[in-house]
Structure 1
Amino acid sequence: MPLYNYQCESCDHSFEAMQKFSDAPLVDCPACAAPSLKKAVSRAGFRLGGTGWYETDFKTGAKKNLAGADKAD
């Protein structure tokens, strides 16, 4: 289940909530009980590093150029 960040517009209280995709967004603030919660934008929990992934990264021997083998000359 994904984590969602919420922030209260009344008291600025912020917190994370684990919810299903199908769950309705939370509305009531747990700190002040005001119905003024908004979902906050957060950064991703992972980072893709390096120069990228290529067809040849995990292949050995004759399997190195599979895309080129399909082309007709």
Structure 2
Amino acid sequence: MPIYEYECKACGHRLEKLQKVGAPALTDCPVCQASELSRLISAAGFRLAGGGWYETDFKSGGTKRNLAGDASKSSGGDAKPADSKATA
């Protein structure tokens, strides 16, 4: 569930509220009881960075497969399965 930030236009009180995505926005200020609350736009609590999606970030052996990079390097569906090591 996302955390929404609100500000009262009447008294300036700010608050954060954990709500479901489909829940209606709050309208009444808990401090001054005015119906002047407005939802603020704020930064997301996470950030996606890097060169792509990894199969796992905790892979042992020091090797990480960049799934986005693997897909862009393959041509015409020549991609190999994830475990293409031959077993003897």
Q: What is the TM-score when the length of structure 1 is the normalising length?
A: 0.71
The Cα shift of 1:54 comes to 6.8
The Cα shift of 1:47 comes to 2.1
Q: Which has the higher contact order (CA 8 A, sep 6+)?
A: 1
Does residue 1:34 correspond to 2:34, yes or no? yes
Cα RMSD for the two superposed structures: 2.6
- Summarize deviations over 1:9-67 as a string: whole Å, max 9, x none: 001101100111221110000111000000011101112333x2178x516xxxx5773
**Whole-Å separation in 2 of the counterparts to 1:41 and 1:34:** 21
Listed as ranges, the matches of 1:8-47 within 5 Å are 8-47=8-47
Does residue 1:68 correspond to 2:75, yes or no? yes
Unaligned runs of 5+ in 1: none
The structure that is strand-richer by fraction is 1
Amino acid in the other structure paired with 1:32: C
Corresponding residue number in structure 1 for 2:52:
53
